[in-house]
Structure 1
Amino acid sequence: MIQRTLPQPRAACRAPARVRRAVRTVLALAAMAALLGIDLPESPGAVLGVTSRAAPDATADRVGALFAGTLDGGHFCTAAVVRSDDRDVIATAAHCLEDPDTTVFAPGYRDGRAPYGLWRLTGVYVAPGWTDGQDPDQDIAFATVAPADGAAGTPLEDLVGGFPVAADQPEHPTVTIVGYPRAEEAPVRCANTTGLLSETQRRIECPDLTGGTSGSPWLVDGALAGVLGGYEGGGTVPEVSYSAVPGDQAMALYREAAQDG
């Protein structure tokens, strides 16, 4: 294991023609996006502040559960695939990587199955502020991965895609969280507006984000803008969660993992 740190549902009815045209337009855009491999923003029709089972879609496939060794070990945190030169980087909370040698990642995990296999960690990128003092402002980390069975094959990002990492963010973004509560065998999703607890910590109100959702990506317009963690380890009650605001140190860690990992 290489660990690296850097300095510091209405009854059915026939829609009016204009609505049908709009639907056809949206479907055409979605099909084009799939062909071109680009990201579309999160659905604007999502009800804010409601947590529900996440549909098996391209977004959920990029998010996975972290396990202790095998699927039989139970999942304890969440991580997400982000874009990188070698197409092999995930993002999670730093406090989820205490045992990197035995941690494996299962992207798209659902109902006991890992459709894209298990991936072991080959490198961990954690800020010294976390390593030395568990600074909640540094509770974000990146790791490189490879197939757990040691076989050479398609890079992970080529299988599921990867989220871009947002270097700049609006002051009060609407965030979508996808993560794995420890007692659930499929991911949940919640979107809501957010506010700042402080200059370095962002706050969101979403119910039922219980243990196991640490490390879940905070997505703004399809880009990763944080992970569940930070203040109080991400929150001590399931209705309110936190994320450290990625600063220069987090972006330097990401660049190190994405370009040199």
Structure 2
Amino acid sequence: MLLLCWLVMAAIGRTARAAALPLPPRLGISHTIHATSAFAMVGAIFRGNVSDGDHFCTASVVDSPGQDLIITAAHCLDGGTRGLSFVPGYHDGQAPYGVWPLSTRTVDPRWTKGHSEDLDVAFAAVPPMGGRRIQTVVGGYQLSSKVSTTSLVHITGYPDSGNAPITCANRITAFGSRQLRIYCTDFTGGTSGSPWVTDGDTVMGVIGGYQEGGNTPDISYSPYFGDAVQALYRRAIRRRMGRSAGQRPR
């Protein structure tokens, strides 16, 4: 019942909207960001101490009733979440919104069994820190339930060779019946899981899927966010709500 009430409220009024993002001078050309406040919902996933600079994937906060979920590519969390942390808005060695250890991950069983490229999406829980939940600190993107294969999207991610994110905007195209494709320069290793954001506040893809997001830096892919991703999202919410209520998660 609580989940149903939250879904109704989310449909009536969004609680965490992102500001409209400005278009870059040239579509498809990435540029580095050192002032990350407009992109605070996006962060790097670190292994070990942040001071070591070992970030290897990207994630973003999604709106949820528990205000504690991030979305990324499933292949980013293949080894589980132990020892991993999410650092929203990370840049130049700084963690302006804190370092948030990860806990429960939720992936589709079909990804676990066969690594289906069409299901390369994962949600992970971010427990509260200091009595605050991550979504109340940085906001959260809405999860898209409708995808246009010609949408204009912004992608922001963290190349593992740098200390600041890059961002790019361009129009997407369909790649087969279950994948999306975009041309944006310099999305190298570390950018897997980068959110595809449309209308300023809606995530409708993540870098992943085909070739785990692409094997060239200038063309990236995402699984189509259809019914399977929506079901995975609802499962992640149920797991978090069950755990909060002291129930054993399924």
> TM-score normalised by the shorter chain: which range applies?
0.7 to 0.9
- Name the counterpart of 2:69: 89
Whether the 8 Å contact between 1:65 and 1:75 is mirrored in structure 2 is yes
TM-score computed with the length of structure 2 as normaliser: 0.84
- Name the counterpart of 1:192: 170
**Within-5 A mapping of 1:104-119:** 104-119=85-100
Which residue, out of 149, 174, 177, partners 1:171?
149
- SS of the aligned residue for 2:103 comes to strand
Displacement of 1:221 in angstroms is: 0.9
1:43 equivalenced with 2:19 (yes/no): no
Displacement of 1:257 in angstroms is: 1.9
- Identify if the C-alpha distance between structure 1 residues 114 and 44 changes in structure 2 by more than 3 Å, giving closer, same or farther: closer
- Identify if the C-alpha distance between structure 1 residues 168 and 127 changes in structure 2 by more than 3 Å, giving closer, same or farther: same
**Over aligned residue pairs, what C-alpha RMSD do you find?**
1.7
Whether the 8 Å contact between 2:34 and 2:164 is mirrored in structure 1 is no
Gaps of 5+ in 1: 1-35
Tell me which amino acid in the other structure corresponds to 2:40.
Answer: D
Tell me which amino acid in the other structure corresponds to 1:229.
Answer: G
- Name the counterpart of 1:132: 113
Displacement of 1:156 in angstroms is: 0.4
- Name the counterpart of 1:221: 199
- SS of the aligned residue for 2:181 comes to strand
- Name the counterpart of 1:238: 217
- Identify if the C-alpha distance between structure 1 residues 258 and 41 changes in structure 2 by more than 3 Å, giving closer, same or farther: farther
Which has more radius of gyration? 1
Whether the 8 Å contact between 1:177 and 1:217 is mirrored in structure 2 is yes
Identity of aligned residues (%): 43
Gaps of 5+ in 2: 1-14, 241-250
Whether the 8 Å contact between 2:149 and 2:180 is mirrored in structure 1 is no
- SS of the aligned residue for 1:122 comes to coil
Displacement of 1:171 in angstroms is: 2.6
Whether the 8 Å contact between 1:83 and 1:258 is mirrored in structure 2 is no
1:103 equivalenced with 2:81 (yes/no): no
Task: Tell me the alpha carbon deviations over residues 209-241 of structure 1, each in whole angstroms, 9 at most, x when there is no partner.
Answer: 000000000111121001000000100000110
Displacement of 1:45 in angstroms is: 5.7
Displacement of 1:141 in angstroms is: 0.7
- SS of the aligned residue for 1:67 comes to strand
- Identify if the C-alpha distance between structure 1 residues 175 and 260 changes in structure 2 by more than 3 Å, giving closer, same or farther: same
Displacement of 1:39 in angstroms is: 3.0
Whether the 8 Å contact between 2:87 and 2:100 is mirrored in structure 1 is yes
Whether the 8 Å contact between 2:62 and 2:69 is mirrored in structure 1 is yes
**Aligned equivalents of 2:30 and 2:108: distance in 1?**
31
**Within-5 A mapping of 1:196-215:** 196-215=174-193
**Aligned equivalents of 2:229 and 2:198: distance in 1?**
17
**Aligned equivalents of 1:234 and 1:45: distance in 2?**
22
- SS of the aligned residue for 2:234 comes to helix
Whether the 8 Å contact between 1:112 and 1:185 is mirrored in structure 2 is yes
- Name the counterpart of 1:54: 33
Alignment length (residue pairs): 223
**Within-5 A mapping of 1:66-85:** 66-71=45-50, 72=52, 74-85=54-65
Whether the 8 Å contact between 2:24 and 2:168 is mirrored in structure 1 is no
Whether the 8 Å contact between 2:34 and 2:92 is mirrored in structure 1 is no
Whether the 8 Å contact between 1:203 and 1:243 is mirrored in structure 2 is yes
